[in-house]
Amino acid sequence: MELTAAKIKEIRALREKKFRDASGLFTVEGEKMVAEALASGLEVVEVYRKEEIGEKAMERISALTTPSPVLAVVKIPHPAKPSAHGLCLALDGIRDPGNMGTILRMADWFGIDTVYASPDSVEAFNPKVIQASMGTIFRKQPVTADIPELCKEFKAKGLQVFGTFLGGENIYTADLPAEGLIVMGNEAHGISPQVEAHVSVKITIPSFAKGPTAESLNVAVATALAISEFKRRTL
């Protein structure tokens, strides 16, 4: 199989959000990731293997420093927004692709029902998000939502909205229900004032250090600890 210059340019363009948005496509690299994409039920448009297209062509279409032996082009799914129920996670302005991918992976591991993301969060089909998710993106895609409105929906159903703050209630002694919405904020600024206004309960993950300690936790680490504690209460 020989790739034309036009096709190589088309695949390379999918590294940028504007071209992913325009085409409705994203790329996946690596044997494991491509296998998961094929098994996921998502529409895999094309699969390119190094032994079929040649090493030089693979180097040109790959976004990795060391090109993988296989790359797939996949259609972006658009999951419908579900009704407010279960234990869900809302991401308010998460900008780092590594954090987003890791958070999705944690949500998958702990069985979070739905992950919502604000429109200003990093796009889920960014190549770095996909790599950090380690395949989770094929099972659990975040649903774009207006987070303040989402909080209102949960509260209207009689469910609490929990937000993580440095001065909140100790998560290990707080009353944590089996259902509700957990909000995690931006890496630098935390939960926005617009979302904070709708938080029912402010919680914090306390430090156990006896002396000087880190100022705060990485948001992906904090998310894993928070959802782990919520789930632990249901055992």
Q: Which of 154, 156, 101 is nearest to 132 (CA)?
A: 101
For residue 79, the model assigns a pLDDT of 82
Instruction: Delimit the CATH 3.40.1280.10 region(s) of the chain.
Output: 87-232
Neighbour-count burial for 15-45, b at 16+ CB within 10 Å, e otherwise: eeeeebeeeebbbbbbeebbebbeebebebe
For residue 144, the model assigns a pLDDT of 95
H or E element at residue 5: helix 5-13
For residue 64, the model assigns a pLDDT of 87
- The tens-digit pLDDT sequence of the chain (235 residues) is 788 999 999 999 999 999 999 999 999 999 999 999 999 989 999 999 999 999 999 999 998 888 889 999 999 998 888 889 999 999 999 999 999 999 999 999 999 999 999 999 999 999 999 999 998 999 889 999 999 999 999 999 999 999 999 889 999 999 999 999 999 999 999 999 999 999 999 999 998 888 777 777 899 999 999 999 999 998 8
For residue 195, the model assigns a pLDDT of 98
For residue 211, the model assigns a pLDDT of 72
Neighbour-count burial for 163-174, b at 16+ CB within 10 Å, e otherwise: bbbeebeebeeb
Q: Which of 163, 187, 216, 198 is nearest to 94 (CA)?
A: 187
- CA distances, 101 to each of 37, 140, 200 (Å): 16, 11, 27
112 and 85 Cβ atoms separated by less than 8 Å: no
Instruction: Delimit the CATH 3.30.1330.30 region(s) of the chain.
Output: 5-75
Query: For the domain with range 5-75, which CATH number is right: 3.30.1330.30, 3.30.230.10, 3.30.390.10, 2.130.10.10?
Result: 3.30.1330.30
Q: Which of 43, 29, 31, 108 is nearest to 72 (CA)?
A: 29
